[in-house]
Structure 1
Amino acid sequence: MTTPVDTPRKSLPRSYLLWLGGALTSQLGDAVLYFALGWAASVHGGVAAGLVLTSIALPRTLLLLLGGAVGDRVGARRVMIIGDAVMIGVALLLAITTTWIGAPVLLLVVAGLIVGTNDAFYLPSSGSMPRQLVEDELVGRALALRQSGSQLISVIGAPLGGVLVAFAGVPAAAWLDAVTFGIVLVVLVRVRPRFAPPPPAQRKHIAREALDGVRIAFTTAGLGPALLLVAGAAGFILPFSSILIPLLAREHAWGATGAGVLVGVQAAGTIVTTLIVSKRGVGTRAGLIAVGGLAAVGLGQFVVGLTGTMPGAVAGVLLMGLASGVFITHLNPVLLKAAPPEYLARVQALLALVQSVTLLITNNAIGTVAHAFRPETAVYGCAAVLLGCAGAGLASGAIRRITD
């Protein structure tokens, strides 16, 4: 049994809790707006919907490393304040414009490009904030609390967006997003990060600073293997709920309700684990615990594929959710705490980039396998890869030596 490093009686700083509340509020506004943009685009057909979603994802992916470099250069708080102001302006313009002229494809694409570009700069800085506001010994608990909140937002965001758009249309979603970003903007004005950006005399060319972030990530002890492990996990865990659960539900006649139940149970399991870690702290052998959690996710996938029944699938996805929480809460703090303070945003940018690129490949590969054979074949493939990743992590001395 592991012993928590963090002292349960020591509370997370009020500044962090204040920022986290604002960040989760704006995340909810974003989730509602993203749903509204996709829904508005779907009126124009599947090609238009894909184009709008791509207009968000493409600049976000292409500019992440640059966004991380800017965050470390001028300060995460300043980048986020500017990003919040941009999003308030975009949301207000979108609300007013869609009220008067509706939602033509060109308007949606332009809005998507601005949102995606803003995300590329905002997300790395936001990812660095737990360490910017919390002492190193509490980072694990801080990240676990943030993860539980983010998971909850991801569960309720799309349904809330659907209800809001159905009753009040796209303008209402845009107004809500503007209000939520206004809240987090007020919060950011009040909080003060621990680390200051470097003086101008130490700055290099922005492209070189971005590449320096990649170099640091793969030369700092433990960071490179942890990044690769996260990439493998993301590529074969996230598509399970978005691709394979709907396919399995159709094959076994569980219906949309059954698929929703399975996704909800998996999310609930993750929330339970992350909340526990946010209270009790991270185990001392964080690397080994994370590897064990990843292996348990793979076993949960095998259970879902083998049983072919709704009760068995519920048990499997519950194991997946609980184990995913273990993996996330024990490996993510390593990626944040091992990074030098002057590279926090760049390492977070690289983390987001490797996950995005991996998902771009695995989403298509998993979907192709499921279509060519059966969904269960893809399920077994995902499970086997995760168990292989866990085995590679166990064999890695750098991962085994990771402690909180």
Structure 2
Amino acid sequence: MASLGTTESVVSPPSRTVLPRSYLCWLAGTRVSLVGDAALYFALGWAASAHGGQMAALVLTAITLPRTVLLLLGGAVGDRFGARRVMITGDVVMLAAVLALAVAARIWGTPSWMLLGFAAVVGTVDAFYLPATGAMPRRLVSKEQLPRAMALQQAGGQVASLLGAPLGAVLVAVAGLSGTALVDAGSFAAVLAVMLWVRPAAEAERSPRMESLLAGIADGVKTAATDPVLRTALLLTAAAAAGLLPAVALLGPLLARSNGWGPGSAGLVAAGQGAGILLAALLAARLGPMRRIGMGTSLGLALAAVGLAGLAAAPATAAAIAAAVVVGAGSGMFACHMGPLVLAGAPGTHLSRVQSLLTLVQSLALVVANNVLGWLADAAGARSAIALCAVLGCVAGVTGLASPSLRGLRQATS
């Protein structure tokens, strides 16, 4: 495959052969774990809310802060010691942590110190686990199968997120935080068993042993910053995180309140976005991405921007739901093209580091955007804030289409 730094760059087309059994087992195990995690996070947030809004915010911060601070280190560790080894270690730590939470919640209830401590463990493990997870598809499938494999991964993740919160609500009502933690422990045990069984098809390329982790972090940042496609991909990912993610999750409820639609309508708008993402992922898994995979990322942003414009102007709930489906379809289209583009283009020795950068730019962009858009919604209304998201998505899409390195990126023909 040619270097991603030129307009002659290519990404292998989606293979029509059956995905490897090892990948399918890995995917099933990790999606089960995501359902358990989503249920536990709901239970954790519910328990924290009993201590007031400030404590609930602190618990969320205890997850996001260490994850953000340690992400680049987590990527360097994944490339040094191997993604599979890092995932197994993370699963063992989290299995022990959720079992300890289940016991502690049974004995002491849900004191704030316990919730904060567990949240800090989650955020710390995530910093190492997420880059390793992002790198694993490249270790388990060929580059030709990567687009289909990652689209299926996204579809499974969307299903997990849709199922997790309702499951968490049921478990909290029936068994409380302790019982929910036990269920999540079962999901960690399942994915741990899968990880112990799975073996990558090829020996993983590693970063040099003599290189310090700090030097490894710097090299990962330099690699992404100097590669035209990776650099543009990171910028577009930041724009997507800032413009697309808060539009429904943060601004959707504010729009519903301002129009007197009620919480049910806000939930349906969020569900519409989820349905659009799932539809785009399933289509990509079945049909594969566009031949011009770089153009597909930009067109996905443009489609999402059209949906956001419709959401900003929606006169009633039905129109808002339809617009949210378009937002989700565009978001899913963007992700299904951007994911394999970045993973196939990253050097084999830098997979986890590039994934850590991808996660980091999303997290930082989302933190900034949530605060800016929240302020704008208070000052000028939710519709104005959503309209700004539409403008950001449109500008990002046009920027991607104008980038020669990204626009010229094609799937391989052989």
Is residue 5–residue 281 contact of structure 1 (8 Å, CA) maintained in 2?
no
> Which is worse superposed, 163-172 or 310-319?
310-319
Task: Tell me the residue number matched to 1:300.
Answer: 307
Is residue 294–residue 387 contact of structure 1 (8 Å, CA) maintained in 2?
yes
Pairing 1:340–2:347 present: yes
Structure 1 residue 373, shift from structure 2 partner: 0.9
Pairing 1:392–2:399 present: yes
Matches within 5 A, 1:72-91: 72-91=79-98
Q: Distance in 2 between the 1:46 and 1:7 partners?
A: 47
Equivalent residue letter for 2:237: V
Equivalent residue letter for 1:375: A
Equivalent residue letter for 2:41: Y
Is residue 99–residue 182 contact of structure 2 (8 Å, CA) maintained in 1?
yes
Is residue 76–residue 213 contact of structure 2 (8 Å, CA) maintained in 1?
yes
Counterpart pick for 1:313 among 320, 334, 341:
320
Q: Distance in 2 between the 1:174 and 1:63 partners?
A: 25
- Cα deviation, 1:266-305, whole Å, max 9, x if unaligned, reads 1111111111111111221011122111111111111111
Structure 1 residue 311, shift from structure 2 partner: 2.1
Task: Tell me the residue number matched to 2:277.
Answer: 270
Structure 1 residue 326, shift from structure 2 partner: 1.2
Is residue 76–residue 126 contact of structure 1 (8 Å, CA) maintained in 2?
yes
Task: Tell me the residue number matched to 2:379.
Answer: 372
Equivalent residue letter for 1:149: G
Q: Distance in 2 between the 1:307 and 1:60 partners?
A: 36
Counterpart pick for 2:53 among 42, 46, 50:
46
Counterpart pick for 1:242 among 249, 253, 275:
249
- Cα deviation, 1:346-381, whole Å, max 9, x if unaligned, reads 000000000000001000000100100111111111
Structure 1 residue 221, shift from structure 2 partner: 4.0
The 3 A distance-change label for structure 1 pair 201 and 62 is closer
Is residue 19–residue 184 contact of structure 1 (8 Å, CA) maintained in 2?
yes
Q: Distance in 2 between the 1:138 and 1:197 partners?
A: 18
Matches within 5 A, 1:197-236: 197=204, 202-236=209-243
Is residue 139–residue 204 contact of structure 2 (8 Å, CA) maintained in 1?
no
RMSD of aligned alpha carbons? 1.5
Q: Distance in 1 between the 2:80 and 2:124 partners?
A: 18
> Which is worse superposed, 191-200 or 302-311?
191-200
Q: Secondary structure at the match of 2:26?
A: helix
The 3 A distance-change label for structure 1 pair 210 and 200 is closer
The 3 A distance-change label for structure 1 pair 234 and 195 is farther
> Which is worse superposed, 323-332 or 81-90?
323-332
Q: Secondary structure at the match of 1:63?
A: helix
Q: Secondary structure at the match of 2:19?
A: coil
Q: Distance in 2 between the 1:35 and 1:196 partners?
A: 38
> Which is worse superposed, 167-176 or 154-163?
154-163
Counterpart pick for 2:19 among 8, 12, 17:
12
Equivalent residue letter for 2:68: T
Matches within 5 A, 1:58-97: 58-97=65-104
Task: Tell me the residue number matched to 1:351.
Answer: 358
> How many residues in Structure 1 have an aligned counterpart in Structure 2?
401
Is residue 73–residue 197 contact of structure 1 (8 Å, CA) maintained in 2?
no
Structure 1 residue 200, shift from structure 2 partner: 8.6
> Which is worse superposed, 251-260 or 57-66?
251-260
Is residue 55–residue 116 contact of structure 1 (8 Å, CA) maintained in 2?
yes
Counterpart pick for 2:40 among 17, 23, 33:
33
Q: Structure 2 unaligned runs (5+)?
A: 1-10
Task: Tell me the residue number matched to 2:62.
Answer: 55
Task: Tell me the residue number matched to 2:161.
Answer: 154
- Cα deviation, 1:169-214, whole Å, max 9, x if unaligned, reads 0001110111101000000111112454557964311111111111
Q: TM-score, normalised by structure 1?
A: 0.96
Q: Structure 1 unaligned runs (5+)?
A: none
- Cα deviation, 1:80-118, whole Å, max 9, x if unaligned, reads 001000001001000011101111111111111111101
Q: Distance in 2 between the 1:260 and 1:46 partners?
A: 21
Q: Distance in 1 between the 2:110 and 2:159 partners?
A: 29
Task: Tell me the residue number matched to 1:323.
Answer: 330
